[in-house]
Amino acid sequence: MSDRVDDRSAAAGELYSGGRTWLRPRLRPGLVLLLLVAGGWFCFHFAEVDLQRLVRGLPRLASWAARSWPPDFSDLQTLLTRAAETLAMATLGTSLGALIALPLCVLAARNTSHDLTYLAARTVLNGLRGIDSFVFALLFVAAVGLGPFAGVLGIGIHSAGSIAKLWSETIEDAAPGPVEAASLTGASKAKIIVFALLPDVLPAMISGLLYIWEFNVRSSTVLGIVGAGGIGQELKNNIDLLDFPRVFAIILVILAMVTAIDRAGAVIRRRLS
């Protein structure tokens, strides 16, 4: 009798288990769809999306575009000077970020750091990356005054987190052979990192640094809005004056500068690979 009860219980358990596994795949798409709809409604609600306002604004944009032709290059020297400020700001800011990131990336890599040091370094990186360079530039404008120097500091502090994260992941993915060979010689951990690990991952680190530099050139074009200098400040001033031919000329200069930087970075990365 007990054997029959056990058999029935086992059969019922198998049936229930089979039904549960059969229901889960069917319920999963509906649950995903529900979450997507809820997430979309949440975003639309808090972003205050209003398609009627967009429809009313499109003719205004078309009018501004028509009024911006032909572009005004009457004072090209000023635009080129501002573009040079932007390029210098991004280059020095990226260099500053790389100097800060170099020790941080070693501390933030699992294979070159201890657990507590790793967690502390990753927390610092998240903080630097979580605050945009725009916010840092705004703070440094208040601290050191208007001009490109505030932009250099803002870009440098924010970039340090991004560069260190890329470099730490590169170090973690490094081949263990050179490190193990250096360890067999009895070298200290610092010498192993400097003479065995870093030379092995240097091309990948430079490639990642170039990506950050290209990104900083593009992002630094708007730092002038907060008074951090560069061509972004020229852009804001002319938008305030509704001088659309001048605005169009500035946009073309920015586009030419960013395109040249992207091409130069691509060439350097190809030679490194």
Residues 144-161 pLDDT 10s: 888 888 889 999 999 999
Range of the domain at 87: 72-272
Structural contact between residues 89 and 228, judged by C-beta atoms closer than 8 angstroms: yes
In a domain, 62, yes or no: no
What is the pLDDT, as a whole number, of residue 95? 93
Task: Please report how the helices 244-272 and 231-240 are oriented relative to each other, as an axis angle in degrees rounded to 10.
Answer: 160
Q: Is the pLDDT of residue 261 over 60?
A: yes
Bigger pLDDT: 43 vs 182: 43
CATH number at residue 85: 1.10.3720.10
Q: How many domains does the chain have?
A: 2
Report, as an integer, the average pLDDT of 182-190.
Answer: 71
Question: Considering the domain boundaries, does residue 65 fall inside one?
Answer: no
67-117 pLDDT per residue, tens: 888 888 888 888 898 888 899 999 999 999 999 998 888 888 888 788 888
- Cα angle for residues 108, 111, 117 (degrees, 5° grid): 40
pLDDT, position 96: 94
Residue 5 or 273, more confident: 273
46: amino acid identity, one letter: F
Residue 79 inside a domain? The answer is yes
In a domain, 239, yes or no: yes
Same structural domain, 143 and 235: yes
Q: Tell me, yes or no, whether 124 and 28 share the same domain.
A: no
Q: Are residues 84 and 136 in the same domain?
A: yes
Looking at residue 104, its amino acid is L
CA dihedral 92, 96, 102, 105 (to 10 degrees): -100
Look at phi and psi of residue 186 and say left if phi exceeds 0, alpha if psi is from -120 to 50, else beta.
left
pTM, whole model, 2 decimals? 0.76
Give residue 183's pLDDT: 73
Name the percent of the chain lying above pLDDT 70. Answer: 88
Q: Give the model confidence (pLDDT) of 4-14 as tens digits.
A: 445 544 444 44
The reply to whether 96 and 204 lie within a common domain is yes
Q: Domain check: are 31 and 123 in the same one?
A: no
Domain for residue 128, yes or no? yes
Say if 61 falls within a structural domain. no
For residue 124, give both structure tokens: 């610092």
Residues 39 and 171 in one domain: no
